[in-house]
């Protein structure tokens, strides 16, 4: 029988699969097929090798009697002779086809892996295909992405066929091809969504300095502008809130506070506690803690429901934020009352 060399060379040109790699893989498959034919695939003293002539395309199979050194495990061929089966054509063709299909699949997996391996940190749009207790699977077109429960927004439902955006956190190889892990909870998902909606961010005029997020509930982003004529908060909000609304819609209604970043840490902390109004901010000498004083009626707003606003402000600024009302501060600063005068001692009897 013959193996068409022209077809293998065509695969090399079109798919980038090495011609020699293909031929060698087919030769190994033919040798294995021969051993199955003679019922010797499990015989430790019988081996085979197949040779494909690159010019004539003819296949020749050689049977080998071998011995293995028990100490060095070195294989020594005792005898070798040609033993190409007369009816080997059909079996050889099938073995060659399996090798070619397998190599094409491997090449496509390598190509897909190469395409996505450099995209960690990018955003992708997928269609929900399946959801169970282990993963939600997104169809990205050429490949599927896996979103584990830890990367899913609490209480967010992923209906079959729904389109949604996700953030690529990891791309790794697996036996079934590239495995792409995506997230809906990663803070940088918000960064990428704003890059899509705000041209000033893509142009480098507006920069997202920091992000604090509680997925599915509320997020805060701090933004700055390199152009004094461009308001970074206004650019991210958009006309009548159109830009921030698009991001919030993609996140199924997650609230987003857009804060102006400033080098003045006191001012930045005050901004981070928005929408609460702040009276004063004092940075502790250690530089790690900020005492924030707010009007009494703003205390609950500054802290937020279950402390959420204060937590997000602390993450956004990188400081420990201690919030107190004006009346609390006044009370703490009031001088302590003087102790009552000691009772005069009784006179002598």
Kindly list the domain boundaries of the chain, sorted by start residue: 5-117, 123-183, 186-261, 264-333
Ordered alpha helix ranges (H), 38-120 = 88-117
One CATH from 2.40.50.140, 3.20.20.70, 2.40.30.330, 1.10.10.10 for 123-183: 2.40.50.140
Contact assessment for residue 217 and residue 254, using Cβ atoms and an 8 Å cutoff: yes
Cα–Cα dist 235/268, whole Å: 19
* This prediction's pTM: 0.70
Architecture of domain 186-261: 2-Layer Sandwich (3.30)
Assigned fold of 5-117: N Utilization Substance Protein A; Chain:P; domain 4 (3.30.1480)
Cα–Cα dist 248/186, whole Å: 15
Write down how long the chain is.
Answer: 349
Q: What is the pLDDT along the chain (349 residues), one digit of tens a residue?
A: 677 888 888 888 887 778 888 888 888 888 888 888 888 888 888 999 999 898 888 889 999 998 888 888 888 889 999 988 887 877 778 888 888 888 777 777 777 777 788 888 999 999 999 777 778 999 988 788 899 999 999 888 888 899 999 999 998 877 677 788 999 999 999 999 999 999 999 999 999 999 999 999 999 999 999 999 999 999 999 999 999 999 999 999 999 999 999 999 999 999 999 999 999 999 999 889 999 999 999 999 999 999 999 999 999 999 999 999 999 988 887 776 666 554 444 444 4
Rounded alpha-carbon distances, angstroms, from residue 22 to 5, 33, 52, 106: 10, 16, 11, 12
Q: What is the pLDDT of residues 128-142, one digit of tens each?
A: 997 777 789 999 887
Residues 176, 154, 167: CA angle, nearest 5 degrees: 45
Q: What is the pLDDT of residues 148-158, one digit of tens each?
A: 999 999 888 88
Q: Which two tokens stand for residue 262?
A: 């400033």
Question: How high is the pLDDT of residue 26?
Answer: 87
For residue 205, what are the contacts with CB-CB under 8 A and spacing of at least 6? 225, 226, 227, 230, 235
What are the b/e assignments for 178-188, b being 16+ CB within 10 Å? bbbbbbbbbbb
H helix and E strand count, the chain:
11, 14
For residue 137, what are the contacts with CB-CB under 8 A and spacing of at least 6? 128, 129, 130, 131, 144, 145, 146, 147
Same topology, domains 186-261 and 264-333? Answer is yes
In degrees and rounded to multiples of 5, residue 162 shows phi and psi of -75, 145
Question: How high is the pLDDT of residue 339?
Answer: 63
CATH number listed for the domain at residues 264-333: 3.30.300.20
End-to-end CA distance of the chain: 136
């Amino acid at each position: 029988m013959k193996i068409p060399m022209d077809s293998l060379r065509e695969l090399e040109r079109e798919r980038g699969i090495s011609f020699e790699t293909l031929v060698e893989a087919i030769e190994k498959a033919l040798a294995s097929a021969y051993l199955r034919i003679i019922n010797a695939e499990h015989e430790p003293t019988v081996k085979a090798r197949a040779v494909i002539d690159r010019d004539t395309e003819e296949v020749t199979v050689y049977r080998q009697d071998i011995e293995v050194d028990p100490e060095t495990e070195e294989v020594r061929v005792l005898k070798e002779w040609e033993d190409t089966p007369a009816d080997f054509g059909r079996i050889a063709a099938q073995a060659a086809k399996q090798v070619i299909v397998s190599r094409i699949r491997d090449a496509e997996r390598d190509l897909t892996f190469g395409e996505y391996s450099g995209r960690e940190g990018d955003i992708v749009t997928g269609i929900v295909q399946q959801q169970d207790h282990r993963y939600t699977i997104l169809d990205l077109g050429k490949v599927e992405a896996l979103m584990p429960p830890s990367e899913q927004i609490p209480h967010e439902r992923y209906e079959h066929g729904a389109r949604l955006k996700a953030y690529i956190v990891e791309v790794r190889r697996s036996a079934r091809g590239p495995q792409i892990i995506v997230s809906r909870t990663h803070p940088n998902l918000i960064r990428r969504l704003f890059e899509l909606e705000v041209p000033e961010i893509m142009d480098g005029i507006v920069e997202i300095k920091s992000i604090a997020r509680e997925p599915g509930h509320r997020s805060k982003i701090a933004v700055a502008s390199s152009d004094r004529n461009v308001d970074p908060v206004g650019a991210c909000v958009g006309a009548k809130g159109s830009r921030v609304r698009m991001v919030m819609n993609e996140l199924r209604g997650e609230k987003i506070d857009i804060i102006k970043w400033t080098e003045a840490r006191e001012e930045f902390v005050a901004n981070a506690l928005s929408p609460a109004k702040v009276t004063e901010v004092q940075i502790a000498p250690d530089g790690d803690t900020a005492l924030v004083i707010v009007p009494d009626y703003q205390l609950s707003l500054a802290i937020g429901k279950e402390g959420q606003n204060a937590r997000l402000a602390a993450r956004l600024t990188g400081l420990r934020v201690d919030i107190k009302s004006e009346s609390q501060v006044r009370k703490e600063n009031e001088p302590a009352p003087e102790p009552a005068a000691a009772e005069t001692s009784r006179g002598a009897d």
